[in-house]
Every structure is written in structure tokens, then in C-alpha cells.
Amino acid sequence: MTFLNKVETKLPDQSKIIDKLTNEVTELRNLNARLSSILDFSMDMICTVDEVGVFVSVSQASYQILGYKPDELIGRSQSDFIYHEDHEKTHHARKLVKEGQALTNFENRYIHKNGTVVPLVWSSRWVPEEKLRYGIARNATEKIKAEETIKASEKKYKDLFENNPAPMIIWDFKTLDIVDCNKEALIKYGYNREEFLSLNIRQIRPPEDIHLIEEITLSEEEYGKKHKKTWRHLKKNGEIMIIDITGHIIDYNGKRCVIVMLNDVTEKVSLQENLEKQKLALEVSNKELEQFAYIASYDLQEPRRMITGFVRLLMKKYSDKLDQTALSYIGHAVDGAERMKVLILDLLEYSRAGIKEDQVIEINLNDLVNDLISLYKNQVDQQTIKIEIENLPVIKCHRSPIRQVFQNLISNAIKYRRTDVNSLILISCEDGGDFWNFSIRDNGIGISQEYFDKIFVIFQRLHSKNEYSGTGIGLAMTKKILESLGGKIWVTSKVGEGSTFYFTIPKEM
Ligand code: ADP
């Protein structure tokens, strides 16, 4: 009785405990179910693996990632699914995990049920109390693809930099150390890569230019102002190069750096300097020559006058005592002295040609040319010569030299006309950008191609004085004038058909 009573009195308590336990078990089951469904919802494959590498539990994601349902993996060794090349590194990683290291971002490859290879990224931890390894694996296909795309694009830029035909250098804006360069830079400076990357940009400058770097690297703003500049750079062998640079500030491997493209202009500059020197020497020698021609022609006039004077005196006083031959000799001497006078005057004029004494003014070439044509009024009126003017502009130039040019060329076109046809002369102009391009075309006797250069040389003529008057100075003078104005002249022609003289004048004097 006592016992029964005891039992009876205890029963309500026990049933409470059983209820409580039942509730707790149910709660635990629910929790477990919720946890499993959370795990199964994960896109990553979450699993536990025992000591020998056999799957104990696997989340549903295994199906998406490897094509196996969890049941097909549980109880099987991981090694059965690992890509053969990755066995060794996986084995090593597992060892480390078991020794207590937490593993993150470990990459290996599994074989999908369909035979394809799937890259996985793992995080794992060993839980000794449970003798289980917990692991989370993510399909890394997209990540690897993205990495490969980035790598390919990096390689493309690296290749562009490395193989750029222009030398390129990258230097640290703070320390001025050279941090990268391309092949061409190494060739240009004569260093190997290791040597070059141990330098800073002061060391590729002649010592006397180093202060200039300090000035422009004070601030990024200061550098930005001078990002295009010409520098003197030093090669390994001590040679100095003149370099045009274009530089830009960039972020490079986490540092503020300057990427610089270099253009070696040493040869160009020395060529330019030589040209300048030659030009100067030529100007000096031209000046001297002009002075010489001027003085010589001036001084020659005096003895010429003396010769003419005495020969005339000889003629006057002794003409009755001399025979015909002697008289004709004296006649030739007078003639020669006269010719000499003309030549000397021409030489004098030539030596002065191109000296720009007058101001640059606006010249209406229509007016100027019409004025010149009026000198040939008779022939024009009789319609034996027709002169046409086309598109003549108003130009800015010195008046007398330009008048001289047109006069020489128009008078030649008239002088060297054919007598069997009416003469037609066309004077025209085209706008050539920085220059005016003129042409004077005639239908005259023409010039054989072999003389195209010779006719511009002083005193060079293609005809005797009896055929056509002249001393052969007109074109030489025209050329000299045009060159002194910054233009040029040339001819094209066909014997018997006519000639075209082309010349240019710069628009700005
Ligand atoms: P010049 O007329 O006094 O001989 P230029 O220097 O003006 O001297 O001309 C040199 C030569 O060029 C002339 O002797 C002539 O043979 C040739 N020449 C010049 N202009 C013409 C032309 N329009 N047609 C044919 N020949 C020409």
C-alpha cells in the first residue's frame, strides 16, 4: 500500500517529465529539420567527413554542383570523386586541417557525375570531439572564369606595355624609384632589367639636370603642368640623349606612380642644330657674296669706262690712219665694253635682288599685273598676244620684289613666244593653305627638259643674243627673290608647245 501510494503519488511527476522530454525531442527534431533545410537551401555544398575521408552527411547542393544526390555520396570516400591531379595536394590539405588548421579558399577539382571537371573552393575545419571534418565547397567555375578574364586583360595591357615600340618607364612619384619598364627602355638605356629596376629617375639624368626633377615632383599638380617636356637623359655608357616625354600619374600596385612614354629626339635635335648652323653659314656666305658682287660690279665699272673711253679716243684720233680690219677690231672692243656694262649692271641688280627694303603691304595682284600688261598694250591691242588673268588674290608682301617676279616671267612669256601662232598667256593662282601657288603658262617656244634647272642659273641662256635679246639674269633673279621671300619656283615645258612657270609665296611674311 505504502509502495502503491508512493507509485501513485510519483506518477504525475514522471508523466510531466515524459511530456517535457517528448516536447524537447520534438523541438529538437524541428530544429534539426529547420537546420537541414537551411543547409539544403545553401548554394554551397555543406558536408561532414570522417577521419578516413568518407562522406557522413552532405547537403542537397551536391546535386547542383556535382550531379550526385547526397545519398549517392554519403558512405563513399571523397577520393573517389577528386580529379586525379589534385589527390596529392588535397591529401596534404586534409592533414593540415586534422592538425588543427582552419583551411579557407583551398582549391581542388572534382569529377561531376557527367564526367566533366568541376573546380571547387573549400573551407574546412576538424572537430576533434566529433572526429569529423566540416567542409563547405563552392563551385568556382564562375570565379575562375572571371579571374581568367582579368588575367587575360592584364596580360593584354602588360603585352601592350612590354612590346610597345616606344620606351616606357613607370616610377614611384614619392621615392622616384623606377618600378617597371618595357623592353625598349632597357635597349635605349643599355641596362638589364634588374639593374634598371634598382635605379631611380635621378640616376638617368646628367647631374647638372637633377634639380629640374626636384622642381616638378614637388606635387602632383606641379608634375601635371609639365607632363610633356624635353629632358636630357643619361645612358648606362654615359651618353646623353635628348628625350621628349609624355607622363601621366596613375595608381600602380597600390602606389602613386608616373607612367612615362619616351621619344628619343637626339638625332632630330642634332640634325636641326646642324641645319641651323648650315643655314647661318649660308646666310653669312650669301651676304658676303652679295657684297662681293656689289663691290666687284661697282669697281668694274671704272676700268670698263676707261676701256670704252680710250677705245673711242683711239677711233676718233686715229681712224684715218687705221685700215678696215683695225677699225672693225676697235668696233668689236667697243661692243664688248658695252656688253660688259650691261652685264655689270645686271650683276649689280642681281646682288641687290631679294633685299627687302620696302614694307610688307597689301597688294592687289590684279592691279599689279594689269599695270604690267599695259606695257605691252600695242601687241595686246593688235590681238597678237592674249593675256588672261585668273583668281589673282590680294596678298601681303613686299611690293617691288613681287612686281619684279611678275615682270620677269610675263616679259619672258612674251619674248619667247612663237611667231606662227597667236600668243596666249594665262596667269593664275590657287590657294595652297600656307602658300599662294601661282602659275604663268604660255604657248611659246618651250624649253627642253634638260635645261629646266640651268635656266635659273645666272647668265645661263639657251639662245644667242641675235636670236633673243637678254643677258640670262631674269630667271636667276626671280629665283633669288622668291627664295628670299620663302617661296620657290620651277618650270614644266615642252619644246614647241609652251612652258608653265610655277612659283609659291608664303601667305605670312
Ligand atoms: P634671258 O631672257 O635674259 O635669257 P632669263 O634668265 O630670263 O634670261 O631666261 C633664261 C633662259 O630661259 C632664256 O634664255 C630662255 O632660253 C629660257 N626661257 C625663259 N623663259 C622662257 C619661256 N617663257 N619660254 C621659253 N624659254 C624661256
Measured in Å, residue 198 CA sits from the centre of ligand 1 at 70
| Residues 6+ away with beta carbon under 8 Å from 404 | 353, 477, 478, 481
Give CA–CA dist 86/107, Å, rounded.
9
**Residues 42 and 68: beta-carbon distance below 8 Å:** no
Atom nearest to 458 CA in ligand 1 = 6
pLDDT tens track for 165-193: 999 999 999 999 999 999 999 999 999 99
Measured in Å, residue 507 CA sits from the centre of ligand 1 at 27
pLDDT value, residue 355: 65
pLDDT tens track for 266-305: 999 999 999 999 988 888 877 777 778 778 777 888 888 8
Checking if the pLDDT of 3 tops 80, the result is no
Average pLDDT of the chain, as a whole number: 90
pLDDT tens track for 448-477: 999 999 999 988 889 888 899 888 999 999
Measured in Å, residue 443 CA sits from the centre of ligand 1 at 14
3-state secondary structure at position 192: coil
Give CA–CA dist 147/496, Å, rounded.
79
Ordered strands of the 435-442 beta sheet: 385-390, 423-432, 435-442, 498-506, 489-494
**Residues 365 and 358: beta-carbon distance below 8 Å:** no
**Residue 98, number of CB atoms within 10 A of its CB:** 14
Residue of 132, 80, 125 lying closest to 72 (CA atoms): 80
pTM for the model = 0.52
346, 416, 481: which to mutate for ligand 1, most atoms within 8 A of CB?
Answer: 416
Q: What is the dihedral of CA 237, 238, 244, 249, to 10 degrees?
A: 80
Measured in Å, residue 446 CA sits from the centre of ligand 1 at 9
Residue nearest to atom 4 of ligand 1 (CA): 472
Is the distance from the beta carbon of residue 416 to the nearest atom of ligand 1 less than 6 Å?
A: yes
Is the distance from the beta carbon of residue 477 to the nearest atom of ligand 1 less than 6 Å?
A: no
pLDDT tens track for 101-137: 989 999 999 999 999 999 999 999 999 999 999 999 9
pLDDT value, residue 187: 96
Q: What are the contacts of 161-167 at 24+ separation with CB within 8 A?
A: 164/261, 166/261, 166/262, 166/263, 167/261, 167/262, 167/264
Helix (H) or strand (E) holding 231: strand 228-234
Q: Residues 132-160: what's their mean pLDDT?
A: 92
User: In this structure, what DSSP letter does residue 436 have?
Assistant: E
3-state secondary structure at position 394: strand
Cell numbers 619684279 correspond to 404
